[in-house]
Chain A
Amino acid sequence: MTADRGRELPASLEAWRDTFMTAIADNAQSPQATWKRRILLPIAAIAVLGIAGVAVARLADNPEPVVLQKGKTIGYIDLRTGEPIHCPNGAPLTYSPSANPVEDDGPRCADGSVPDVYSSQVRDYEQWLEKQPAGTALADGPTFSYELKSGIPGQ
C-alpha cells in the first residue's frame, strides 16, 4: 500500500486536497447534514419500501420473469444442440455491448472464462465472413446469437 508516496501530484491537485479536506470537515459537522439525515432518510426509506411493495405485487400478478433488457442483452446458441450456450456455473452465456468499444471484451462467464463452443463458433463465423465479398446480404448467413426478450430459453 501507500503506492503513491513519493510521487507528487501536480500543484493544483495538492492545493485541491485542502479544499477537499475543508469541505469534508464542514460536511461532517454541518447541522443541516444531520437534519437532512434525520428527516430525509426515513422519507426516502418509506418511498423505497413503497416502490418495492408495488414491484413485488406486480411480480406476484405476473410470474413471467423479466431477466434482461430487450434489445440490449443477447445470448448464444450452441449450433450442434440448438440449446443456449451455458457457463460452468449453469448460467447462459450472455452479453450486453458496452458503450465504450475499447473496454468491450465480448461475452464472458462470471468466472471470466469463455466457453469453447462459443469461441469455435465465432472463429468459424469470422472465417465465413472474411470470404464474403463487399455488399453481400448477410441476412441469410449463419447466426447463433439471440435477443433476450423476456427470459432465457430453456430455463
Chain B
Amino acid sequence: MARLAQALRESASNPEAFGFIFDDQFGPILDRLVRRVFDAEIAVDVAAETLAEAFTQRNRFRGSTDAEVVNWLNAIADRKLARFYRKDAVEKRALRRLGIDSPHLTEEEHHEVLERAGMAELRGLVRSELRALPDAQRAALTLRVVDELPYSQVASRLGITEEAARARVARALRALRHAVRTQPFAEETP
C-alpha cells in the first residue's frame, strides 16, 4: 500500500497528512545524511531543509508509489547537500519560507544522532578497510586526509610526483567508498 504517496497527495489540501511523511522519513533521511557528511549538525540542518522543501514543493510530486516518494525526498536531500559542498553553508530557504529554523541538538543528542546512523560500525569498517589497503595507498591517504598535508608535501614525503600522490589517494578513497557502500547499513533503499 502506497501510504507515503497517499499522504503526500493528501497533504496538498490537508497539511496534517504531511506528518506521516515526517514520522516515516525524517529519521532515514537524517541517517543517510549523517553517513555522508559525518556531522550530526549539518545532517540535521539538511534533513530539516529537505522536509521543508518537500512540503513547499509537494504539488510537484508526480509519482504514485512509496519508492518514488523516497527517491524524490533523497533527490531533494542530495541537491541540498551538493549546494552545501559548493557554498560551504546549508541553504535554509524553505525553512525561512515556513518561518522556522532547523532544530538544535544538545551535546548528548549530537552523539545520539551519530550513533543511530551507525557511525560506530562505520568507523570500525573504515579502520579495518584502511588496514587492508596496500601500504603505498594507506600512507598517501593518511598523509593527505589524517595529517591534512597538501599534495606537494605528500609527494615529497613519499618521494613520488604530486600526480602520483593524487592517484594513490584517489584509489584509496575509491576502495574505502566501495567498501562502505556495499555494507548493509550504508544505504537504506525503499
Which residues of A pack against B, CB within 8 Å? 1-5, 7, 9-13, 15-17, 19-21, 23-28, 98-106, 126, 129-130, 132-136, 138
Are B4 and A135 in contact, CB atoms less than 8 angstroms apart? no
Question: B32 to nearest A CB, angstroms?
Answer: 11
Give a binary string over B142-171; 1 marks a CB under 8 Å from any A CB, 0 the rest.
000000000000011011110110010111
Contacts of B156 in A (CB 8 A): 134
Q: Which residue of A lies closest to B97 (CB)?
A: A27
| Chain B residue total in the interface (Cβ 8 A) | 56
Question: What are 20 pairs between A and B in contact, CB < 8 Å?
Answer: A1-B190, A2-B3, A2-B24, A3-B24, A3-B28, A9-B26, A11-B109, A13-B109, A19-B103, A20-B52, A23-B99, A27-B15, A103-B36, A106-B170, A106-B174, A126-B167, A129-B161, A129-B163, A134-B155, A134-B160
Q: Which residue of A lies closest to B166 (CB)?
A: A129
Asked whether A27 and B98 contact (CB < 8 A) given A4-B24, A99-B86, A134-B155, the answer is yes
Number of A-B residue pairs with CB-CB distance less than 8 Å in the complex they form: 125
Question: A122 to nearest B CB, angstroms?
Answer: 9
Please tell me if B121 contacts chain A, counting CB pairs below 8 Å.
no
Q: Which residue of A lies closest to B87 (CB)?
A: A99
CA distance A24 to B82 in the complex (A): 25
Are A101 and B18 in contact, CB atoms less than 8 angstroms apart? no
Asked whether A23 and B159 contact (CB < 8 A) given A3-B188, A11-B109, A13-B103, the answer is no
Q: Which residue of A lies closest to B24 (CB)?
A: A2
Asked whether A1 and B3 contact (CB < 8 A) given A23-B98, A23-B99, A134-B156, the answer is yes
11 additional A-B pairs beyond A11-B109, A103-B36, beta carbons within 8 Å, are: A9-B30, A15-B103, A17-B23, A27-B55, A98-B85, A100-B85, A102-B177, A129-B164, A130-B160, A132-B164, A133-B161
Contacts of A133 in B (CB 8 A): 159-161
CA distance A20 to B56 in the complex (A): 12
Contacts of B66 in A (CB 8 A): 1
CA distance A15 to B44 in the complex (A): 14
Give a binary string over B5-39; 1 marks a CB under 8 Å from any A CB, 0 the rest.
00000000001101100111111101000001000
Contacts of B3 in A (CB 8 A): 1-2
- Closest 10 CB pairs between A and B? A4-B27, A16-B103, A10-B109, A99-B85, A129-B164, A23-B98, A28-B15, A24-B15, A1-B66, A23-B100
Are B113 and A102 in contact, CB atoms less than 8 angstroms apart? no
Are B163 and A138 in contact, CB atoms less than 8 angstroms apart? yes
